[in-house]
Chains A and B, each alone.
Chain A
Amino acid sequence: MDELILEVNNLKTYFFLASGVAKAVDGVSFQLHKGETLGVVGESGSGKSVMSKCVIRLLEKVGRIVEGEIKFEGRDVLSFSEKELMAYRGQDVSMIFQDPMTSLDPVFRVGDQMMENLRIHRGLDKAEARKVAIEALRSVGIPNPEARFEAYPFELSGGMCQRVIIAMALCCNAKVIVADEPTTALDVTVQAQVLRLLKNLQKETGMALMLITHNLGVVWDMCDRVMVMYAGKIVEMASVKDLYGSPMHPYTWGLLDSMPSLSTERKTALKTIAGTPPDLRLTGKCCNFYNRCPYAQTICTECVPELKELAPGHLVACHRQNGVERLEREEGSDRG
């Protein structure tokens, strides 16, 4: 991979509630390079969405970044002024949200929204902005872009709306796209189209993509590296091939086993992870996974496991894996 474009160091984002402090993101560090696709995998409460919002600094009022730094091209994002932030959000980093229908303003035409972006961030006049916008719509595969330009968001399908949002990100020459479950709300055929679009665009423009999802299939398809998050921390980070071929964290094993794939044996009980994710107001004092981990020992209840490189490019946060004897993964479903 080439140069570093986004760097996050020890990010801690806490939510201050009446009943306690929820540690939504608790010490997350990673790097994103140009042209790379980083997958972020996790379930509800893992902190993946909150973290993505921190990168673009769109956090709700009740949450606060208490520690850590975010560096974009070497500049400190957390100390940006309002003006710098505007430029950062519109031009450098673009975000694609889960629900395409609510990501666009329903009372304005699609074209007007795109032009607004262009005129603010690239300073184009109306005629130029219109040309650029229609070209962008065409390049994301929207048929009859001139007509769609005049349409309102509710006249477009979900997949079409996501394409419009991707076109908006493109127009402004975003260097990084943060996509938070961009295809979860879409049909599987539409998902395939949108993902392929993202992949092609990435090849053409060399932009970096941070793809947040709970669907490992999407990760295998799209990502170069992937990090697995659980209860606000990264538990494993590796290249996609390493994560599939030799996952090391018990949570990752559990996740891989719980997903039925087309090659899983039918009508058999899936290997599940017992229990439910912990309450984020209680986490942070020890391994957050111990109460669901079949391999937990006393040390796991006492101190926080550090993320260590246990194989080249493969980081794991687990006391047992870090110790003298490595754990062996029990064979669950068919791993053809």
Chain B
Amino acid sequence: MAEQEVLLEVRDLCKNFKVRSRKIGESAQLLHALSHVNLKVYRGETLGVIGESGCGKSTLGRCIVGLHTPSSGQLVFEGKPLNFKAGGGQGKALRRKIQMIFQDPYSSLDPRKTCGKIVEEPMIIHKTVTDSAQRQERVRELMSVVGLDAQHVHRFPHEFSGGQRQRINIARALSLNPDLLVCDEPVSALDVSIQAQVLNLFGRLQEEFGLTYVFISHDLSVIKHISDRIAIMYLGQVVELCGAEGIYDNPLHPYTRALLSAVPPSSPFEEKKTIELKGDIPSPIGDQVGCPLASRCPHCTDRCRQECPSLKEQEPGHQVACFLYES
């Protein structure tokens, strides 16, 4: 396989939030949303990011698009440090290359603007198309690309269904011809049949425009279907990273195994044995010592409680952060 170009590299990314303590007198603590995340995203691929609530996948997505500033670590895009605030128009140029699709189709569109104005706006902001008539033409083009009726340019968001609003979101993001699209649970709020339509749309657009996706979701079936590689996150860290087939054929990390076993069966004839992790997810607030899964893992050892394992390659293209696999 030819060496793929690395479009985005996440190096040792950490993101902490200050949490005011409830008791008076106690100083503020840190919520460790992301801890030492290392990832590479190759051009043209779909990197799926999966995890449960509190794992940091949304925070990761927001750091990539610049909604959060990393506490430490670096984001490198096309070989250069990612800095949206860079002067000389460079910051703004970066905005054209990286866009985001949000989870909630209802709140991600300005309720007071028509569909046409929403899709048109990025072109106005970045002055990519200065002629008004040409802009209108491009808006209609984008709407038909995402499967919307071009006659509906004058409708307001509340006159569209959830699936259609997500299409408007996608049309808006596409208007700048981005390279990288961060999709934060874009189909989670949609009905199943609409979800399938939108997933197909994502696939089609990737082929047509050569897009790269970082696809965040909590639904394993969706992630497996759409991703080339998958990163599994738990409590702010990436615990396993490999190709989509590999995760399901050969999950290595205990958390991955538990997660897979918890997925509802795909037929009434399937007998599933759930691997249960005892206890609850530990708190991300305060110092994090040892492996994030330590308190719940059936294979926990003393070393796991004291040291935190880092991602190491076990097989070609398959990385795991677990002491079970370290000799």
Q: Do any CB atoms of chain A lie under 8 A from CB atoms of chain B in the complex?
A: yes
Binding site for B on A (CB under 8 A): 43-44, 143, 157-158, 160, 187-193, 195-196, 214-215, 217-218, 220-221, 240-241, 244, 254-255, 257-264, 266-267, 269-273, 276-277
Q: Kindly list 4 other residue pairs between chains A and B, CB separation below 8 angstroms, not including A220-B266, A260-B221, A262-B248.
A: A143-B279, A192-B274, A259-B192, A272-B193
Contact A262:B220 (CB < 8 A) given known A220-B270, A273-B193: yes
Evaluate contact between B192 and A255: CB separation under 8 angstroms. Answer: yes
Evaluate contact between B220 and A270: CB separation under 8 angstroms. Answer: no
For residue B262, which residues in chain A have a CB less than 8 angstroms away from its CB? Answer: 188-189, 191-192
Evaluate contact between B193 and A269: CB separation under 8 angstroms. Answer: no
Leading 4 A-B pairs by shortest Cβ distance = A217-B264, A258-B196, A260-B225, A187-B52
Q: Which of A217, A218, A255 has the most CB of B within 10 A?
A: A217
Shortest Cβ distance from B242 into chain A, in angstroms?
A: 14
Binding site for A on B (CB under 8 A): 52-53, 161-164, 191-197, 199-200, 203-204, 218-222, 224-228, 244-245, 248, 258-270, 272, 274, 276-277, 279-281
For residue B265, which residues in chain A have a CB less than 8 angstroms away from its CB? Answer: 217, 220-221
Contact A221:B272 (CB < 8 A) given known A43-B193, A262-B263, A269-B203: yes
B52 and chain A: residue at smallest CB distance: A187
Evaluate contact between B272 and A270: CB separation under 8 angstroms. Answer: no
Distance in angstroms between the alpha carbons of A220 and B274 in the assembled complex:
15
For residue B245, which residues in chain A have a CB less than 8 angstroms away from its CB? Answer: 266
Partner of B263, one of A188, A264, A269, A273: A188
Distance in angstroms between the alpha carbons of A261 and B225 in the assembled complex:
8
Evaluate contact between A263 and B266: CB separation under 8 angstroms. Answer: yes
Shortest Cβ distance from B124 into chain A, in angstroms?
A: 30
Contact A188:B52 (CB < 8 A) given known A217-B265, A270-B200: yes
Shortest Cβ distance from B13 into chain A, in angstroms?
A: 23
Evaluate contact between B224 and A193: CB separation under 8 angstroms. Answer: no
Shortest Cβ distance from A110 into chain B, in angstroms?
A: 16
Shortest Cβ distance from B217 into chain A, in angstroms?
A: 11
Shortest Cβ distance from B317 into chain A, in angstroms?
A: 15
Evaluate contact between B259 and A44: CB separation under 8 angstroms. Answer: no
Pull 17 A–B residue pairs with CB atoms less than 8 Å apart, ordered by A. Answer: A157-B281, A191-B264, A192-B264, A192-B274, A214-B191, A220-B264, A220-B265, A220-B270, A244-B267, A244-B268, A258-B195, A260-B224, A261-B266, A262-B224, A267-B225, A270-B199, A272-B196
Evaluate contact between B272 and A272: CB separation under 8 angstroms. Answer: no
For residue A214, which residues in chain B have a CB less than 8 angstroms away from its CB? Answer: 191-192
For residue B270, which residues in chain A have a CB less than 8 angstroms away from its CB? Answer: 220
Evaluate contact between A254 and B248: CB separation under 8 angstroms. Answer: no
Partner of A262, one of B203, B221, B280: B221
A333 and chain B: residue at smallest CB distance: B225
Evaluate contact between B269 and A241: CB separation under 8 angstroms. Answer: yes
Shortest Cβ distance from A191 into chain B, in angstroms?
A: 7
Shortest Cβ distance from B131 into chain A, in angstroms?
A: 34
Partner of B259, one of A189, A193, A254: A189
Shortest Cβ distance from B157 into chain A, in angstroms?
A: 15
Partner of B221, one of A157, A240, A259: A259
Shortest Cβ distance from B11 into chain A, in angstroms?
A: 28
Distance in angstroms between the alpha carbons of A193 and B277 in the assembled complex:
10
Evaluate contact between A267 and B203: CB separation under 8 angstroms. Answer: yes
For residue A267, which residues in chain B have a CB less than 8 angstroms away from its CB? Answer: 203, 225-226, 228
For residue A264, which residues in chain B have a CB less than 8 angstroms away from its CB? Answer: 221, 224-225
Distance in angstroms between the alpha carbons of A43 and B191 in the assembled complex:
6
Distance in angstroms between the alpha carbons of A277 and B192 in the assembled complex:
12
B244 and chain A: residue at smallest CB distance: A266
Distance in angstroms between the alpha carbons of A254 and B192 in the assembled complex:
10
Evaluate contact between B194 and A270: CB separation under 8 angstroms. Answer: no
Q: Which of B227, B267, B277 has the most CB of A within 10 A?
A: B267
Evaluate contact between B196 and A270: CB separation under 8 angstroms. Answer: yes
Partner of B218, one of A188, A220, A262, A269: A188
Contact A254:B268 (CB < 8 A) given known A267-B203, A269-B200: no
Q: Which of A43, A143, A260, A267 has the most CB of B within 10 A?
A: A260
Shortest Cβ distance from B151 into chain A, in angstroms?
A: 16
Distance in angstroms between the alpha carbons of A215 and B192 in the assembled complex:
8
Distance in angstroms between the alpha carbons of A261 and B161 in the assembled complex:
25
For residue A276, which residues in chain B have a CB less than 8 angstroms away from its CB? Answer: 161, 163-164, 194
For residue B163, which residues in chain A have a CB less than 8 angstroms away from its CB? Answer: 276
For residue B194, which residues in chain A have a CB less than 8 angstroms away from its CB? Answer: 43, 276
For residue A192, which residues in chain B have a CB less than 8 angstroms away from its CB? Answer: 261-262, 264, 274
Shortest Cβ distance from A234 into chain B, in angstroms?
A: 17
Shortest Cβ distance from A237 into chain B, in angstroms?
A: 15
Distance in angstroms between the alpha carbons of A290 and B280 in the assembled complex:
47
Shortest Cβ distance from A15 into chain B, in angstroms?
A: 17
B247 and chain A: residue at smallest CB distance: A262
Distance in angstroms between the alpha carbons of A18 and B227 in the assembled complex:
45
For residue B267, which residues in chain A have a CB less than 8 angstroms away from its CB? Answer: 220, 244
B46 and chain A: residue at smallest CB distance: A267
B51 and chain A: residue at smallest CB distance: A187
Contact A218:B266 (CB < 8 A) given known A189-B259, A266-B245, A269-B200: no
Evaluate contact between B218 and A187: CB separation under 8 angstroms. Answer: yes
Evaluate contact between A218 and B200: CB separation under 8 angstroms. Answer: no
Distance in angstroms between the alpha carbons of A195 and B274 in the assembled complex:
12
For residue A221, which residues in chain B have a CB less than 8 angstroms away from its CB? Answer: 264-265, 268, 272
Shortest Cβ distance from A41 into chain B, in angstroms?
A: 9
Evaluate contact between A193 and B276: CB separation under 8 angstroms. Answer: yes
Distance in angstroms between the alpha carbons of A44 and B165 in the assembled complex:
15
Contact A217:B263 (CB < 8 A) given known A189-B258, A260-B199: yes
Contact A220:B268 (CB < 8 A) given known A189-B52, A269-B203: yes
Distance in angstroms between the alpha carbons of A276 and B198 in the assembled complex:
12
Evaluate contact between B263 and A272: CB separation under 8 angstroms. Answer: no
Distance in angstroms between the alpha carbons of A309 and B218 in the assembled complex:
38
Evaluate contact between B266 and A272: CB separation under 8 angstroms. Answer: no
For residue A269, which residues in chain B have a CB less than 8 angstroms away from its CB? Answer: 200, 203-204
Distance in angstroms between the alpha carbons of A277 and B161 in the assembled complex:
10
